[in-house]
Amino acid sequence: MPEALEGDQLLETMRRDFDYLLLCGEEACCWFREFCSVDTIRVRLMILEALAALQRNDLKKGSDLLESADRKNRSRVATLPSVLRFVERYRLSTLAYLHYLNRDLAAAEEGLMRARDEIRAIIKRHEFLLPAAVQCIDFVIQRARIARREMKWREAERQIEIIRDIYAGRRPFCILESGRQIGLNELAEFYARLPLSEEQREHARIAFLGEGVPLSVRVERLETAVFGLPNLVIPYL
């Protein structure tokens, strides 16, 4: 697929998920524009190309692309450094996949925690990025797969139970350093305060609030993914 087309598709996804920022004030609008900028798209495409290489088991190419993405992201001059930190979240989770494939599961776990911490940091800095908390569930899924690879079946089941609790509203997606919990209720309240269009509200309901699929079906699919697939899958918003 040509890079331009891939970039268009990525940009469309980013805009669909984050266009609510245009309703959140000037700083949020600036963040949205920088997040959807050509420079950001280029680095994210590099990370996606690295992921594709890793999924083909081309670890050398994947590793080289992640190093290039790191250098490119660090060299950028951003009006809002939190945009760079958000991009770094994607690089770190893909790097965790590389460690996973190399059977360095401790490094994979550390990478996932660092990616989670990037999400927590940008939410702490920008209230308007509260919906990014939903990405933390990806790290729970990946920890379940790491536990499976170590044949720690009870731990894998425990991680799945955590996800069940998150979507049942019994656990938060993440807890900030202040102790503030960000869960489904907080996200629902956040979206309820915004003058979203019907299309935006429906997208938020399905993509961020998890209302499109019954909980039992969601957990069943998750169990199949964790115990039935050979490798990690890195979800992207």
CA distance 130 to 65: 30
Question: Is 137:163 a contact under the CB 8 Å cutoff?
Answer: yes
One-letter amino acid of 133: A
Global pTM value: 0.88
Per domain, the residue ranges of the chain are 3-228
Task: Single out the residue of 90, 91, 73 nearest to residue 37, CA to CA.
Answer: 73
3-state class (DSSP) for residue 179: coil
CA distance 140 to 143: 5
Distances (CA, A) of 52 to 10, 42, 48: 14, 15, 6
CA distance 38 to 28: 18
Question: Is 19:28 a contact under the CB 8 Å cutoff?
Answer: no
Question: Is 183:169 a contact under the CB 8 Å cutoff?
Answer: yes
Burial of 173 from C-beta contacts in 10 A (0-12 / 13-18 / 19+): buried
Long-range Cβ contact pairs of 37-42 (< 8 A, separation 24 or more): 39/76, 40/83, 40/87, 41/7, 41/10, 41/11, 42/7, 42/72
Task: Single out the residue of 15, 47, 45 nearest to residue 32, CA to CA.
Answer: 15
Task: Single out the residue of 182, 236, 187 nearest to residue 210, CA to CA.
Answer: 187
* Tens-level pLDDT at each residue, the chain (237 residues): 445 557 889 999 999 999 999 999 999 999 999 999 999 999 999 999 999 999 999 999 999 999 999 999 999 876 789 999 999 999 999 999 999 999 999 999 999 999 999 999 999 999 999 999 999 999 998 999 899 888 999 999 999 999 899 988 999 999 999 999 999 999 999 999 999 999 999 999 988 988 877 878 877 777 777 776 455 444 443
